[in-house]
Amino acid sequence: MKEKIILLVEDNPDDEALMVRALKNNNILNQIAVARDGVEAIEYLFAEGAYAGRDTSVVPEVILLDLKLPKLDGLGVLRRLRADPRTKLLPVVLLTSSNEEEDRLNGYGLGANSYVRKPVDFDQFREAIRQLSLYWLVWNETPPARRI
Amino acid sequence: MEFPRHLFSSGGFQPHGFCYQWNTGLVWLNVLSDLLIALAYFGIPLILLRFIRKRKDLPFSWIFGLFGVFIIACGATHLMEVWNLWHAQYWLAGAIKTVTAAASVGTAALLVKVVPQALEIPSARQWKEANEALKKVVQEHESAEVELRLREASYREIAELLDLTHNAIFVRNLENEIVHWNEAAEKLYGWKVEEVRGRKTHDVLGTVFPKPREEIEATLFKDGYWEGELVHQLRRGGFAIVSSRWALRTDDHGKPAAILESNRDITHRKKADDELRLSEERFRLLVSGVRDYAIVTLDPEGYVTSWNTGAERIKGYSAEEVMGKHFSMFFSEEDIKQDKAGTELKIAIQQGRCEEEGWRVRKDGTHFWASVVVTALHNEKGRLYGFGKITRDITERKRAESALARKQEELAGSIAELNATNKELEAFSYSVSHDLRAPLRTIDGFSLALLEDYSDKLDAEGKKHLDRVRAATQKMGALIDDLLNLSRVTRANMRLEKVDVSSAAEEVIEELQKSQPGRRVECSIEKGLEAMADSHLLRVVLVNLLGNAWKFTSKRDSAHIEFGKTQNNGSSAFFVRDNGAGFDPAYADRLFGAFQRLHAMTEFPGTGIGLATVQRIINRHGGQIWAEGQAGQGATFYFTLQTVNP
């Protein structure tokens, strides 16, 4: 059985650290792949560029995608994923500071599976991450895997 | 008696034949002669009788009867002579002779008496002559009658002819009595000829003369003719103005006999003339009186032919100064060089009119912005006889328009700026919501990490500091969220619909109750209240107002919250009333300002943005919001919304 990995797309190292801490606090020991901008996320998923030669049979269980990203923003990444048959059904959770209606609408419109706003209060943040992980890594059944 | 006894006796006498001695020849001569005489005498009365019968008209016919008796008597004596030749009855003969004598004497006597009368009876020749004369008289009479008939016929013709004309024609005698009156007169005046014949003309028609009647009649009798306008009264009421012609008719001896009068009804023409004159006068007054428009006429070459008050006022020249001058004098020198005046006329001729705006020069040399319409004027035959030119001084309008255009440009600039600002603001809000929150999360997250991971290295004071850091971070997070909400309600698209305000209020109260299940708040919400509003924004209003009421009654033992609708200054307003902390009315105007708080944070938490948000939403709905309250005695917030049209 392959390891269930999580892809975190986050440009802010503080948030990345807090996220890792929150996961660790919740005893989620899965491998966390981190992409620091939209382009890197795409390259990782399609094994291109710096990630050329990556084993594409390793598919993340869930992508935690920030909206505000350098180079290619979160909605751009989502659009690319949904346009490609290989990543069309990949679970994507938009995890962001923004609570703009426009962003929520566009996110769901482009095929996001979930939209979660990062709370300022770390207690709440940690709780959110706990529930998210439990849901996406334990309860949720991913669609049949496709080769990337 | 002896006589009758002897009458038929011979009395002893010898028959008369004895006297002739019975000489046969003598006897028969007497017999035949007497018989013939008697025969003739008896025949004559018969002929006379027949004559009388046939000519019953003859005078003195009885004489013929007498004459007949006399002749028969004579005949009888002659028969008696024959009888006496052989019979001597002389008494009888004597008696017959007596009768005859009586008849003869009577007849003679009567004749004496009758003859003078009979002489007076005209003779046949006389009759004939008389007859001839009579015939002649009759003939003359007949021809006169024919002539009369003919004349009558021609009169009738004339009368018929008169009836055909539209002129009211009548004949009156020298006493002014109407003799004849044609159909047109009947029609015009309303009187039948039978009704007016013999009446005085001027009584019937109540004639109004243009000058004393005596003068008119004097003219008529002098010249035999008069012509003029009269006013006649009509039977149906009203008047007719007629063009009247009078002619004097004379008899064979040249003596005045009658007056012929022919009247043409010119009432309508007269009225039309009057109206035309009036309308022309009005038009002239109108044009000359117009002050705001220069109304000028030009001849076909462009020389001024009329000039109104408006032209005087606008251009500064009096009519005397410009009449007959060329209208190019009102153009600027440059326009004169380019023959702009000539161009205007050309366009007007080609297209019927020429409309333009441009600078013109007044008498004092100042310029004004003119709106000009030049219209080519043609007569009925299509020949150009000049131009009408209307000029308006629209300098003020021009200025206003330029100013308006400038303002519009400025406004367009402002709108562009505003749009840019709005865009910036949106970008700003976006980055606030995203970028300003991220550091807060870091601060809070690592503060907590310190507390959790290094709790053994921190004393109580250090931990307290970190708690304050975390509290401040969370407060700032709340502030940012509220600020974003405020900006969002300003920008959000609004969709007005019928909203059940009561149900929305109930839902909000339910949520508040769920969030603090331990609190006991008595809530009364009026049912069935509706309004036209954006349901999402209205919910934000209710969340804030009811939330405030919930919050500020938290220190009351028996908290009351009331939601309903009330009449206020003639218009209905929704209200949210509580018996909570209330506020000092002195600061009521600060309630709705952003970040304005009337209570200590420690007493009642809050960002001070809620009511600012509510006010913005109500304002965007075109409504009003205000509050009443006293410190410690609760508060009532009123707001108005568009009512639902039935």
User: Mean pLDDT lowest for which of A123-132, A139-148, B72-81, B150-159?
Assistant: A139-148
**Interchain proximity A120–B449, CB inside 8 Å:** no
Pick from B393, B413, B433: which residue ends a domain? B393
In a domain, B283, yes or no: no
Per-residue pLDDT, B630: 86
Helix B610-620, helix B535-552: angle, nearest 10: 150
Q: How far is B487 from chain A (nearest CA, A)?
A: 11
In a domain, B631, yes or no: yes
Give the mean pLDDT of B255-273. Answer: 86
Provide ipTM, 2 decimals.
0.77
Statement to judge: residues B105 and B40 lie in one domain: yes
**Interchain proximity B433–A123, CB inside 8 Å:** no
Determine whether B266 is exposed, middle or buried from the number of CB atoms within 10 Å of its CB (0-12, 13-18, 19+).
middle
In a domain, B9, yes or no: yes
**Interchain proximity B438–A121, CB inside 8 Å:** no
In three-state secondary structure terms, A72 is coil
In a domain, B567, yes or no: yes
Q: How far is CA B469 from the centre of its chain?
A: 94
**Interchain proximity B449–A125, CB inside 8 Å:** no
Q: Hey, is the C-beta of A100 within 8 angstroms of any chain B C-beta?
A: yes
Per-residue pLDDT, B303: 93
Statement to judge: residues B267 and B294 lie in one domain: no
Statement to judge: residues B268 and B179 lie in one domain: yes
Statement to judge: residues B565 and B611 lie in one domain: yes
- H/E run at residue B52: helix B24-54
The superfamily CATH assigns to domain A6-138 is Response regulator (3.40.50.2300)
In a domain, B333, yes or no: yes
Q: Closest Cα to residue B357, out of B393, B311, B333? A: B393
Number of domains in chain B: 4
**Interchain proximity B433–A121, CB inside 8 Å:** no
Helix A74-83, helix A101-109: angle, nearest 10: 20
Per-residue pLDDT, B107: 83
Statement to judge: residues B502 and B608 lie in one domain: yes
**Interchain proximity B435–A21, CB inside 8 Å:** no
Closest Cβ opposite residue A120 in set B435, B449, B473: B473
Statement to judge: residues B11 and B109 lie in one domain: yes
Task: Kindly report the CATH number assigned to the domain that includes residue B342.
Answer: 3.30.450.20
pTM of the model: 0.44
Give the mean pLDDT of A118-137. Answer: 88
Pick from B120, B139, B174: which residue ends a domain? B120
Between B73 and A98, name the one with better pLDDT.
B73
Query: Which stretches of chain B sit within 8 Å of chain A by CB?
Result: 429-430, 433-435, 437-442, 444-449, 470, 473-474, 476-477, 481, 484, 488
Give the separation between CA A132 and CA A138, rounded to whole angstroms. Answer: 10
User: Mean pLDDT lowest for which of B123-132, B340-349, B446-455?
Assistant: B123-132
Give the separation between CA A8 and CA A33, rounded to whole angstroms. Answer: 6
Which band of pLDDT confidence, cut at 50, 70 and 90, is reported for residue A1?
very low
Question: Which residue of A120, A126, A129 to mutate against B (max B Cβ within 10 Å)?
Answer: A120
In a domain, B64, yes or no: yes
In a domain, B215, yes or no: yes
For the segment B359-414, what is each residue's pLDDT rounded down to a tens digit?
Answer: 999 999 899 999 999 999 988 888 888 999 999 888 888 889 889 999 999 998 88
Per-residue pLDDT, A72: 87
Statement to judge: residues B319 and B386 lie in one domain: yes
| pLDDT above 90 (res B25) | no
Give the separation between CA B261 and CA B205, rounded to whole angstroms. Answer: 13
Statement to judge: residues B518 and B554 lie in one domain: yes
Residues of B in contact with A21 (CB under 8 A): 445, 449
Highest mean pLDDT among A22-26, B128-132, B537-541: B537-541
| pLDDT above 80 (res B572) | yes
Statement to judge: residues B230 and B174 lie in one domain: yes
Statement to judge: residues B627 and B499 lie in one domain: yes
Give the mean pLDDT of B595-623. Answer: 78
Task: Kindly report the CATH number assigned to the domain that includes residue B512.
Answer: 3.30.565.10
Per-residue pLDDT, A113: 92
| pLDDT above 80 (res A148) | no
In three-state secondary structure terms, B486 is helix
Q: How far is A50 from chain B (nearest CA, A)?
A: 28
Question: Which residue of B444, B481, B488 to mutate against A (max A Cβ within 10 Å)?
Answer: B444
For the segment B141-182, what is each residue's pLDDT rounded down to a tens digit?
Answer: 888 888 888 777 777 777 777 777 888 888 888 888 888 888
Residue in chain B closest to A124 (alpha carbons) equals B445
For the segment A2-57, what is each residue's pLDDT rounded down to a tens digit?
Answer: 578 889 999 888 888 888 888 888 888 788 889 998 989 999 998 888 888 888 88
Backbone torsions φ then ψ of A62, nearest 5 degrees: -155, 150
Which range marks the domain in which residue B497 is found? 492-639
| pLDDT above 80 (res B260) | yes
**Interchain proximity B444–A98, CB inside 8 Å:** no
Q: Give the type of residue at B22.
A: W
Statement to judge: residues B219 and B176 lie in one domain: yes
For the segment B308-358, what is each residue's pLDDT rounded down to a tens digit?
Answer: 888 899 989 998 999 999 998 899 888 888 888 899 999 999 998 899 888
**Interchain proximity B437–A121, CB inside 8 Å:** no
Statement to judge: residues B518 and B596 lie in one domain: yes
In a domain, B427, yes or no: no
What are the sequence ranges of the domains in chain A?
6-138
Under 8 Å between Cβ of B610 and B594: no
Which band of pLDDT confidence, cut at 50, 70 and 90, is reported for residue B506?
very high
Backbone torsions φ then ψ of B376, nearest 5 degrees: -75, 135
Determine whether B460 is exposed, middle or buried from the number of CB atoms within 10 Å of its CB (0-12, 13-18, 19+).
exposed
Burial B495-533 (b: 16+ CB within 10 A, else e): eeeebebbebbbebbeebeeeeeeeebebebeeebebbb
Under 8 Å between Cβ of B184 and B191: no
Rounded to a whole number of angstroms, the CA Rg of chain B reads 73
